[in-house]
Amino acid sequence: MSIDTVFDRILRKELPSEIVFESDHVLAFKDLNPQAPVHVLVIPKKKISSFNVISDLSAREIGLFFQGVSLVAQKLGLAESGYRIVLNCGRHGQQTVDYLHAHILAGRQMTWPPG
């Protein structure tokens, strides 16, 4: 059984969040602690805990998730200037919420390598 996370509660609208996009398949909301002028999190409505177990989703569901991430970036007007997508996974990836989520970071020049 998966644990109830803060993102489960945001999805159920039990916790307030600044939602920027919602479809049948994904929910996108502003990160509480933004690391860039634009910092949005995108979650699939069908929950999985991390990228590690992405094969628990069907190929269609995985596709709909990434399509949703791309759509959010487009809706936020980021397509031309560009953005970074981050999927933190596990301890070394510094994942803190056990609900698959993509960070969309934009609005400033990113650097490489990441910290």
Do residues 99 and 7 make contact, with C-beta atoms less than 8 angstroms apart?
yes
Q: Using CB under 6 A, which of 2, 74, 81, 94 touches ligand AMP?
A: 94
Distance CA 79, CA 103 (A): 15
Binding mask 37-66 for ligand AMP (x = CB under 6 A): ----x-------------------------
For residues 97 and 50, what is the distance between their CA atoms, to the nearest angstrom?
9
| Residue 82 DSSP symbol | -
Is 101 an active-site residue? yes
Q: Rg for the chain (alpha carbons), in Å?
A: 14
Structure token digits, residue 51: 């990228």
Identify the residue among 43, 48, 68, 95 touching ligand AMP (CB under 6 A): 95
Q: Does 97 bind ligand AMP (CB under 6 A)?
A: yes
Determine if 31 is a binding residue for ligand AMP (CB under 6 A): yes
The CB density around residue 24, as the number of other CB atoms within 10 Å, is 7
* Stretch in the footprint of ligand AMP (CB under 6 A) among 20-28, 54-62, 69-77, 87-95: 87-95
User: What residue ranges bind ligand AMP (CB under 6 A)?
Assistant: 6, 15, 17, 31-33, 41, 88, 94-97
Active-site residues, by number, are 101
